[in-house]
A and B are shown apart, each in its own frame.
Chain A
Amino acid sequence: MAFDAVRGQPAAVDVLTRALASGRVAHAYAFVGPPGVGRKLTAMAFAKSLLCPSAGCEQCPACRKIEAGIHPDFMLIAPTFPEGKTSGTPLIRIEAIRQLEQRAALRPAESAWKVFIVDDAGRMTAEAPQAFLKTLEEPPARTVIILILTQTRELPATVLSRCQVVRFMPLHEEEAVALLQSRGMDEGTARLLARASQGRPGLALALDPAAWLERRELALSILAEVGADGAAALFKWSDTLGRDRGQIEQLLETWWLWYRDLLCAKASGDPRLLIHGDRAAELAQSAAGRSWEEIVAGLAACREAWQALQRNVSPRLTLEVMLSRLALGAA
């Protein structure tokens, strides 16, 4: 079956297989959940189930053509750079939506259905959802449109109200570990990455374990250095890192997870709850030396810094404020 490759999403798979079995397939779905948990994989599997003559065998020419993106009754739209450029903000542009609409208006070429997947549908330009509304509400016959989203609020309610929402959850640790092991990882690495990615194996597969550990060392050493040397070290690091938004986001996530572990360590000390299980002793010691308020304030600092980055605050400023709150105890 096509859905065999989808792990740890029983609710979503159940909704879709029942729709297939009863023949009551909705004209538009919104697959909502965090990245890396199998939303696109499920969408592709659903497309294969609809377009493949033997319901998603993964072997036949139809399935191969879907995978290669050249099936005439299938279209995958993803955010692209501005026209004619190789950099810039990738967005789903109105031209892509128009192409989708043109293809949807045609009769199916080889199958009984036409399937359109819009990946990262939250990254639409402002006018794209408007252009999409009429097609979403009443698509041409035999058309299924799947929007892949992280959160429902990424799109206007007018768009979402025309879709059947299917929720995707982060995987349980054991499922994520098993999946990563089936991709050839040893158990230790699989467990570390499953925890580091918080149940999002798609992200775990993209992580390099060595780089992840290295980043953790860097993050902790920055924290320690700023704690010891004060403002001088803080400005040294913000000079070094200040321009690199991507790296600051990653460091921020590392600190955030570290503080989460501190909270767990202080609350129970159960190493199974820790993401950084290999550093349990250090966490326990560090947690014992901090008050509850301090740890919670640290978590708040991380969250606020994350929100600031999402809202386009300068990465350097964000880093300075966050480090001074985490390491220097500034309010």
Chain B
Amino acid sequence: MDVQLERDAFSKGLQMVQNIVEPRQTLPILANVLLETEGDTLRVTATDLAVGACVSVPAKVASAGAITLSARKLGEIVKELPAAPLSLKVQENAWVVLRCGGVSYKLVGLPPEDFPAVVPTAGPAWIPLEGKALKEMLTRTAFAMSHDESRYALNGVLFSLQSGRLRVVATDGHRLALASRPLPNGGGAATGIVPRKAVQEVVRVLGVGEDVQVALVENQFVLRMPNFLLVARLIEGQFPNYEQVVPKGHPCRLVVSRSALAAALRRVSVLSEERTKPVKVLLSPGSLKLTAQNPELGEAEESLPVDYSGEELAIGFNSRYVLDALGAIEADEVVAELKDALSPGIIRSLEGEEYFCVIMPMRI
């Protein structure tokens, strides 16, 4: 293999995939990225056997071939190189000579044959999406993913394709976040739980403008952009029936300024117990009172005006969960729906049903 590349393009390509490489690896080849020529491009592939991604970088290919090199060291090298044309040449015994300007490296590679392939298993039905919209849906739900390894079905977000809508759902058993949007051309029905690492990688590589295509194949989630492909294994198991959890027809509905509520929660929860950060919410017509108390520290209390005309209600929440939900909404005003002290509450943006978050109450 003998190729010439632009340093900037190569560096950008490497950055898109190298996070997938796990720092601690028992298999030497998985600490490497695969570099292979493909037409007029150099394709860079990284995988940890659960998530894999490849990116194509424009290159002048003098002779075709493939090699693998340490992802970390290659990243460190390319980051520091001057902005000049860069050449990669494979020599005997998997040695690689990298030249850029006046710098040259001779690197120890590993043969490409043993590198696990990153390919979608079947020709998938692609769903076109705006990259920005997908990124937003993921960031607005990903915080609710569970970190409890024993409940592995919750360690990811559910992608659900049904009756012309894409729904993205995450829950950890205490709260649930759901973002949904209509699909331009309907599409079939499919579901799959995408693991946390894949979600993080997708959010990281998605920029603002570009269009993407996603697909759920039997056991895989696939994301495609021009010159980029990500394949992730789905999580085994059953996602909880989230539709059953979402309460309907709560009688108490209030509208409140998002930023004012968030600021008040942060202030009051300073005195909450550290682990679950409980805050008590006292609702009465026109006003919402937040209180927190800690026998060792004291009490905090704040009232803020709300648009509410129902009955009085007292309910407790983990203030972190409420703040997470408020942080995921962009609108200035949010709607909260409540029933009684033991029923879950809903937070959603004032307009539309595109996003909401269900939070279980706490006994305080």
Answer yes or no: B155 CB below 8 A from chain A CBs: yes
Question: What distance in Å separates the Cβ of A296 from its nearest Cβ neighbour in chain B?
Answer: 47
Q: Is the Cβ of A140 less than 8 Å from the Cβ of B236?
A: yes
Q: Is the Cβ of B149 less than 8 Å from the Cβ of A142?
A: no
What's the interface size class on B, roughly? 20 to 34
Contact digits for A114-134, partner B, Cβ 8 Å, 1 yes 0 no: 000000000000000000001
List the B residue with the shortest CB-CB distance to A135: B150
Answer yes or no: B233 CB below 8 A from chain A CBs: yes
Question: What distance in Å separates the Cβ of B288 from its nearest Cβ neighbour in chain A?
Answer: 41
Answer yes or no: B263 CB below 8 A from chain A CBs: no
Contact digits for A14-46, partner B, Cβ 8 Å, 1 yes 0 no: 000000000000000000000000000000000
CA of A323 to CA of B219 in the docked complex: distance in angstroms? 63
Q: Is the Cβ of A72 less than 8 Å from the Cβ of B233?
A: yes
Answer yes or no: B235 CB below 8 A from chain A CBs: yes
List the A residue with the shortest CB-CB distance to B149: A101
Residues from chain B with Cβ under 8 Å of A105 in the complex:
149, 152-153, 155, 195, 235-237
CA of A30 to CA of B121 in the docked complex: distance in angstroms? 33
CA of A180 to CA of B79 in the docked complex: distance in angstroms? 54
Interface size on A, residues (CB 8 A): 25
CA of A65 to CA of B47 in the docked complex: distance in angstroms? 15
Residues from chain A with Cβ under 8 Å of B150 in the complex:
101, 134-135
Question: What distance in Å separates the Cβ of B192 from its nearest Cβ neighbour in chain A?
Answer: 8
Answer yes or no: B44 CB below 8 A from chain A CBs: no
CA of A134 to CA of B149 in the docked complex: distance in angstroms? 10
Asked whether A72 and B116 contact (CB < 8 A) given A101-B152, A140-B152, the answer is: yes
CA of A70 to CA of B218 in the docked complex: distance in angstroms? 21
Picked from A70, A104, A135, the residue with its CB within 8 Å of the CB of B116 is A70
CA of A72 to CA of B219 in the docked complex: distance in angstroms? 13
Asked whether A109 and B237 contact (CB < 8 A) given A72-B49, A134-B150, the answer is: no
Asked whether A106 and B149 contact (CB < 8 A) given A70-B30, A72-B233, the answer is: no
Residues from chain B with Cβ under 8 Å of A80 in the complex:
26
Most A Cβ at <10 Å: residue of B116, B220, B236 = B236
Picked from A68, A72, A107, the residue with its CB within 8 Å of the CB of B235 is A107
Residues from chain B with Cβ under 8 Å of A228 in the complex:
none
CA of A65 to CA of B114 in the docked complex: distance in angstroms? 8
Answer yes or no: A69 CB below 8 A from chain B CBs: yes
Residues from chain A with Cβ under 8 Å of B30 in the complex:
70
Residues from chain B with Cβ under 8 Å of A269 in the complex:
none
Residues from chain B with Cβ under 8 Å of A83 in the complex:
24
Answer yes or no: A108 CB below 8 A from chain B CBs: yes
Most B Cβ at <10 Å: residue of A72, A105, A110, A141 = A105
CA of A129 to CA of B70 in the docked complex: distance in angstroms? 34
Q: Is the Cβ of A102 less than 8 Å from the Cβ of B49?
A: no
Answer yes or no: B360 CB below 8 A from chain A CBs: no
Q: Is the Cβ of B49 less than 8 Å from the Cβ of A109?
A: yes
Answer yes or no: B27 CB below 8 A from chain A CBs: yes
Q: Is the Cβ of A69 less than 8 Å from the Cβ of B50?
A: no
Answer yes or no: B222 CB below 8 A from chain A CBs: no
CA of A244 to CA of B100 in the docked complex: distance in angstroms? 53
Residues from chain A with Cβ under 8 Å of B220 in the complex:
107, 109
Answer yes or no: A236 CB below 8 A from chain B CBs: no
Question: What distance in Å separates the Cβ of A57 from its nearest Cβ neighbour in chain B?
Answer: 19
Residues from chain A with Cβ under 8 Å of B290 in the complex:
none
Contact digits for B167-206, partner A, Cβ 8 Å, 1 yes 0 no: 0000000000000000000000000000100000000000
Answer yes or no: A290 CB below 8 A from chain B CBs: no
Answer yes or no: A103 CB below 8 A from chain B CBs: yes
Residues from chain B with Cβ under 8 Å of A72 in the complex:
49-50, 116, 233
CA of A124 to CA of B236 in the docked complex: distance in angstroms? 26
Asked whether A70 and B152 contact (CB < 8 A) given A106-B233, A107-B219, A107-B236, the answer is: no
Q: Is the Cβ of A103 less than 8 Å from the Cβ of B237?
A: no
Q: Is the Cβ of B29 less than 8 Å from the Cβ of A106?
A: no
CA of A146 to CA of B36 in the docked complex: distance in angstroms? 36
Interface residues of A in 38-74 (CB under 8 A from B): 65, 68-70, 72
Answer yes or no: B71 CB below 8 A from chain A CBs: no
Answer yes or no: B234 CB below 8 A from chain A CBs: yes
CA of A227 to CA of B29 in the docked complex: distance in angstroms? 56
Q: Is the Cβ of B195 less than 8 Å from the Cβ of A106?
A: yes
Answer yes or no: A243 CB below 8 A from chain B CBs: no
CA of A290 to CA of B27 in the docked complex: distance in angstroms? 56
Most A Cβ at <10 Å: residue of B26, B27, B114, B155 = B26
Residues from chain A with Cβ under 8 Å of B24 in the complex:
83, 95
The 8 lowest CB-CB distance pairs between A and B, nearest first, are A105-B152, A107-B219, A140-B236, A106-B233, A72-B49, A107-B236, A107-B234, A134-B150
What are 11 A-to-B residue pairs whose CB atoms are below 8 Å? A65-B114, A72-B49, A72-B233, A98-B149, A101-B152, A105-B149, A105-B195, A106-B195, A107-B220, A107-B235, A110-B121
Q: Residues on B close to A: CB < 8 A?
A: 24, 26-27, 29-30, 49-50, 114-116, 121, 149-150, 152-153, 155, 195, 218-220, 233-237
Taking A105-B237, A106-B236 as given, write out 5 further A-B residue pairs in contact, using a Cβ cutoff of 8 Å, ordered by the A residue number: A102-B50, A106-B195, A106-B234, A107-B234, A109-B49
